Amino acid sequence: MSSFDPAASSNPIANDRESAQRFADTIPHGRELGLAVEAIAPGRALFVMDYQERLIGNPETGVLHGGVITTLIDTVSGCAVFSALPSLVPIATLDLRIDYLKPATPRLPLHADARCYKLTRNIGFTRAFAYHSDPADPVVNSVGTFMVNSSDSSLRLDDLTEERAS
């Protein structure tokens, strides 16, 4: 975990679920999937995605498409990195390994829990997992790396939400 001090932060999503949701909603595919921020803390994010029949990967079983689960894991992991940063700067996924441990159960919401366990000047390292009701019984496990400050600009939450409205 980073040595991040939330009291000294200019990062609006580090401890505020509503701001984290506004930020997550700026990602078009996450918004389309209905990803919802359940909780946020410095270096940690919890999301939930309700089951939707339009996201089924196998019509015979009703199991969610793997790409939908990948999007959930990538987004929650990125949000954990963002919440670990002292200020909002652009990030980019460098590597995301996802182990599918079992199929997601049809008609149940899928929760995702991600932690940014190490943050360097240039890279954020994450661990994440998705589960239905019991975190001890995961559907997927993941590790990821994210480039920090992937461009020379800083981000403001207002800029991102104004951009979405255009």
Write out pLDDT tens, residues 131-158: 999 999 999 999 999 999 866 655 555 5
Q: Residue 152 CB: number of other CB atoms within 10 A?
A: 7
Question: Whole-prediction pTM value?
Answer: 0.86
Q: Where are the domains of the chain?
A: 6-161
Distance CA 6, CA 8 (A): 5
**CATH architecture for residues 6-161:** Roll (3.10)
| pLDDT mean across residues, the chain | 86
Q: Is residue 46 a contact partner of residue 76, using CB atoms and an 8 Å limit?
A: yes
